[in-house]
């Protein structure tokens, strides 16, 4: 059984896949405006520190569990337990985690579908298919179902091809493309009037805003979502790593790449927003906050692109290709969590498991689409605000308290020979035992208020 398991063929393959999971809609539509509204450069600095203090140790914890057990989250947590109670608890946490991953995917695919529609719209215009372009721009249920279904099918098709030919192959193709599009767009936007002001707003630090503890805690939550933690995504990617790779080093690289791309996305988003403002487009909400999320992506940007004539069409194709790619490399990592559980614990083969689970997830997306006003926000907060932090705490507890200490240390040593002399070695074990669970709990309580 174990020799049939997939494996990443190289470190780069893992890095592309894990960074692809981390870099998603959250990095592009959430992070930049949050930074600009909360102290600019000062927030960036604080975010970087927090990402390394809180999210990074939890990420290494997931990688350690995954590679140690060489299994999906349910089986992995089950084998860590020493008695019936901890084994049962492990399976329960595991099943809950993949359920949360599936629910996240069911609303993520809806939003990703909108990105596909916005990508298709200018293409249809270029081809002279005005009717199709208008339909893609509408908010009809049929259009939402079609684009969400297409996106889910693309996710399933990649996962059905397995770790090396699916996840790794597509991440290594798409991530460099994502980065190139991002850089190209930044270079173009920098030449437009108003861009400088956006850059100033984004980068000039205002340290007085950092005294608010609520802000720091919400930045921790953002870091947690951005690194895809708690639901077994990083755990399963870790299980496909070879024993010759160093988990602390790879984890640090993923954290740096994720924060680096979030930062770089800000170099695009803030200048673009101020270019839009220079064209007379409103970029602040009525409450005086910078627009973020759907308001930013589906109102401000299309309004800006439509003032730019021919260039606008190409910009809009490039921008929504960027968003669709970012979403796709994240969604495949979400789907891999339940698919790996089913293929490793039942007789179902990967292809069958991927399509079955994909269909179930699409059914949930359909239910959400039919009840958008009540179910969408509920699904988002149930998963990202409540479940993810609690699952994160559970995983830290498993590594810190239930996994045997020598197993843990051996896993860290594998692929990292001189680790015993490092700072990481001295701090991390204590960190996941106590500091991480307490910090995550604090962030969680804060988010309830």
Q: Is 225 in the site for ligand TRP (CB under 6 A)?
A: yes
- Compute the least distance from the CB of residue 232 to ligand TRP, in Å: 8
| Binding segment toward ligand TRP, per CB under 6 A, in 43-51, 132-140, 265-273, 328-336 | 328-336
Specify the residue, 152 or 333, whose C-beta has the smaller distance to ligand TRP. 333
Provide the 8-state DSSP code for 434.
I
Kindly write out the interface string for residues 23-52 of this chain, putting x where it contacts ligand TRP by CB under 6 A and - elsewhere.
Answer: -xxxx-------------------------
Q: Is 330 in the site for ligand TRP (CB under 6 A)?
A: yes
CB 90 within 8 A of CB 78: yes
- Compute the least distance from the CB of residue 231 to ligand TRP, in Å: 5
Which residue has 């329960």 as its token pair?
A: 92
Specify the residue, 19 or 246, whose C-beta has the smaller distance to ligand TRP. 19
Alpha carbons 359 and 437: distance in angstroms, whole number: 35
Provide the 8-state DSSP code for 81.
-
Of the candidate residues 102, 226, 272, 387, the single one contacting ligand TRP (CB under 6 A): 226
Cα torsion through 202, 208, 212, 215, rounded to 10: 10
Q: Is 103 in the site for ligand TRP (CB under 6 A)?
A: no
Q: Is 354 in the site for ligand TRP (CB under 6 A)?
A: no
Alpha carbons 96 and 425: distance in angstroms, whole number: 31
CB 62 within 8 A of CB 238: yes
Specify the residue, 58 or 199, whose C-beta has the smaller distance to ligand TRP. 58
- Compute the least distance from the CB of residue 98 to ligand TRP, in Å: 11
User: Distances in Å between the alpha carbon of 254 and those of 21, 56, 59, 321?
Assistant: 10, 9, 9, 23
Q: Is 272 in the site for ligand TRP (CB under 6 A)?
A: no
Specify the residue, 34 or 228, whose C-beta has the smaller distance to ligand TRP. 228
CB 368 within 8 A of CB 106: yes
CA 93 to chain centre: 20
Q: Return the SS3 of 204.
A: coil
Binding site for ligand TRP (CB under 6 A): 21-22, 24-27, 101, 104, 225-226, 228, 231, 233, 330, 333-334
């Amino acid at each position: 059984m174990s020799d049939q398991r997939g494996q990443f063929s190289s470190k780069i393959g893992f890095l592309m896949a894990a960074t692809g999971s981390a870099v998603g809609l959250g990095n592009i539509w959430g992070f930049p405006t949050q930074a600009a509204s909360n102290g600019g450069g000062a927030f960036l600095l604080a975010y970087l520190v927090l990402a390394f203090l809180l999210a990074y140790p939890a990420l290494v914890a997931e990688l350690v569990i995954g590679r140690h057990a060489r299994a999906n989250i349910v089986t992995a947590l089950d084998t860590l337990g020493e008695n019936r109670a901890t084994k049962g608890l492990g399976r329960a946490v595991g099943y809950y985690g993949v359920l949360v991953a599936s629910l996240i995917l069911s609303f993520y695919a809806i939003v990703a579908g909108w990105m596909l529609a916005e990508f298709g719209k200018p293409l249809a215009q270029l081809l002279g298919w005005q009717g199709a372009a208008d339909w893609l721009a509408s908010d009809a249920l049929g259009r939402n179902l079609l684009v969400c279904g297409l996106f889910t099918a693309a996710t399933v098709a990649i996962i059905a091809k397995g770790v090396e030919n699916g996840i790794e192959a597509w991440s290594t193709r798409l991530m460099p493309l994502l980065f190139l599009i991002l850089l190209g767009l930044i270079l173009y936007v920098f030449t437009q009037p108003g861009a400088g002001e956006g850059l100033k707003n984004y980068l000039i630090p205002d340290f007085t805003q950092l005294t608010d503890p609520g802000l720091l805690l919400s930045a921790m939550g953002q870091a947690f979502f951005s690194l895809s933690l708690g639901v077994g995504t990083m755990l399963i990617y870790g299980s496909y790593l070879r024993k010759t790779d160093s988990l602390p080093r790879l984890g640090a690289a993923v954290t740096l790449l994720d924060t680096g791309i979030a930062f770089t996305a800000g170099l695009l988003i803030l200048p673009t927003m101020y270019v839009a403002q220079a064209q007379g487009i409103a970029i602040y909400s009525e409450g005086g906050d910078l627009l973020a999320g759907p308001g930013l992506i589906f109102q401000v940007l299309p309004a800006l692109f439509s003032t730019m004539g021919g260039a606008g069409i190409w910009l809009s194709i490039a921008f929504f290709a960027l968003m669709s790619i970012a979403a796709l490399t994240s969604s495949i990592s979400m789907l891999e969590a339940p698919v790996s559980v089913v293929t490793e614990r039942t007789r179902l083969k990967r292809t069958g498991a991927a399509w079955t689970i994909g269909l179930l997830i699409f059914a949930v997306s359909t239910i959400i689409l039919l009840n958008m006003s009540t179910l969408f926000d509920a699904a988002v907060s149930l998963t990202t605000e409540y479940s993810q932090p609690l699952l994160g705490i559970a995983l830290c507890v498993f590594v810190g308290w239930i996994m045997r200490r020598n197993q843990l240390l051996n896993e860290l040593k594998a692929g990292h020979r001189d680790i015993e002399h490092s700072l990481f070695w001295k701090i991390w074990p204590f960190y996941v035992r106590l500091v991480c669970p307490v910090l995550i709990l604090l962030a969680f309580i804060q988010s309830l208020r």
